Structure 1
Amino acid sequence: MIHHVWGLFTHPDQEWQEIRGDKETISHMYLSHVLILAAIPVVSAYIGTTRVGWSVAGGEAVRLTESSALQMTVLSYLAMLAGIAAMGAFIHWMSRTYDAKPSLTDSIVFAAYCATPLFIGGLAALYPNLWLAMAVGTAAVCYTAYLLYVGIPTFMNIPKEEGFMFSSSVLAVGLVVLVAMMAISVVLWGFGIGPVYSS
């Protein structure tokens, strides 16, 4: 797992070929990669929101209660795990349009490795700051998109022109999934599952 993560940052094109050659199972992928890396942003956010806090316009730091932060951490973690599976299922479904024939397992593995920069970028949540979050988040999203555009033609073994269209479709659906997760968060807040601030 770690050598693939390092390879995606140092030589992504070659690394996608190596990942394609691996025979992963969904359970092994989740146990060795997704469960570990998806914990980075949620644990960082838990520490950042309960210990450090954030301030608006240089005022006193605002923190969440531990129980509220834990509740939001668990829900975020589950949402990320489900999001990887949903994106993998979409990639598998969409691959038929481009005459690629990856298995559902291959598609979920691809989605998980593409999300790696987003998971690692979650370290920024240790110090909740709007500008830091925006800078790191933008860099993580850009590199995730780069991995997607480089990886689809290599991983799916399709021409680069088709890979561009395929990648654009996946990126659009990824944004829809993100917006849906935000909408679900707002609905849950309406039912009382939201942040509770420490006094």
Structure 2
Amino acid sequence: MIHHVWGLFTRPDQKWQEIRSEKETIGHMYLSHVLILAAIPAISAYIGTTQVGWSVGGGDPVMLTQASGIQLTVMAYLAMVAGVAVMGAFIQWMSRTYDSSPTMTQCIVFAAYTATPLFVGGVAALYPSIWIALLVGTVAICYSVYLLYIGIPAFMKIPAEEGFMFSSSVLAVGLVMLVSMIVLSVIFWGHGIGPVYTN
């Protein structure tokens, strides 16, 4: 797992070819990659929001209660883990339009590795600051989009022109999923499943 993660940051073109040629299983992918890396932003956010806190207008730090932090951490972790599988399913479904026939396993592997910068960038949540989150989040999103656009043609074995359209479709689905998760969060908060502050 680690050599693939490092390779995606140093030589992504070559690394996508290697990942495509490997015989991976969904179970192994989740155990060795998704479940571990998805824990980075979840645990970082828990520590940042319950131990460090954030200041509003230079006042005392605002923090979440331990119980609230655990509840939100578990929900965020499950959403990230499920999100990889959902994106993999969408990628396989859309691949038929582009005369590509990857397996569900290959699509989930592709989705997991494409999300790697987002998982790693989650370490910024250790210190809850809007500016740090904005900076690191923007870099992580940009690199994930870069991996998506260079990875689809190589991984799906389709021409670059079709790869651009395919990648744009995947990106659109990802944005819809993000908006859906935000809407679900608001609905949960409206029903009492939301943050509880220490003061």
TM-score normalized with structure 2 length = 0.99
Matches within 5 A, 1:117-128: 117-128=117-128
Deviations 1:29-86 (A, max 9, x none): 0000000000000000000000100011222100000000000000000001111011
Any gaps of 5 or more consecutive residues in structure 2? none
Partner of 1:182: 182
Runs of 4+ in structure 1 deviating by more than 2 angstroms, as ranges, are: none
State how far apart, in whole Å, the 2-side matches of 1:179 and 1:74 are: 19
TM-score normalized with structure 1 length = 0.99
State how far apart, in whole Å, the 2-side matches of 1:155 and 1:57 are: 48
Partner of 1:169: 169
Partner of 1:133: 133
State how far apart, in whole Å, the 2-side matches of 1:79 and 1:9 are: 25
State how far apart, in whole Å, the 2-side matches of 1:106 and 1:59 are: 49
In structure 2, give the amino acid aligned to 1:174: G
Matches within 5 A, 1:23-172: 23-172=23-172
State the SS of the aligned residue for 2:81: helix
The two structures, once aligned, show a CA RMSD in angstroms of 0.5
State how far apart, in whole Å, the 1-side matches of 2:57 and 2:144 are: 31
How far 1:113 moved relative to its partner? 0.3
In structure 1, give the amino acid aligned to 2:163: G
Deviations 1:137-196 (A, max 9, x none): 000000000000000000000000000000000001000001101111111111100000
In structure 2, give the amino acid aligned to 1:180: S
State how far apart, in whole Å, the 2-side matches of 1:156 and 1:119 are: 23
State the SS of the aligned residue for 2:55: coil
State the SS of the aligned residue for 1:186: helix
Partner of 1:18: 18
State the SS of the aligned residue for 1:29: helix
State how far apart, in whole Å, the 2-side matches of 1:60 and 1:186 are: 26
State the SS of the aligned residue for 1:119: helix
State how far apart, in whole Å, the 1-side matches of 2:177 and 2:121 are: 19
Alignment length, in residue pairs?
199
State how far apart, in whole Å, the 2-side matches of 1:167 and 1:128 are: 32
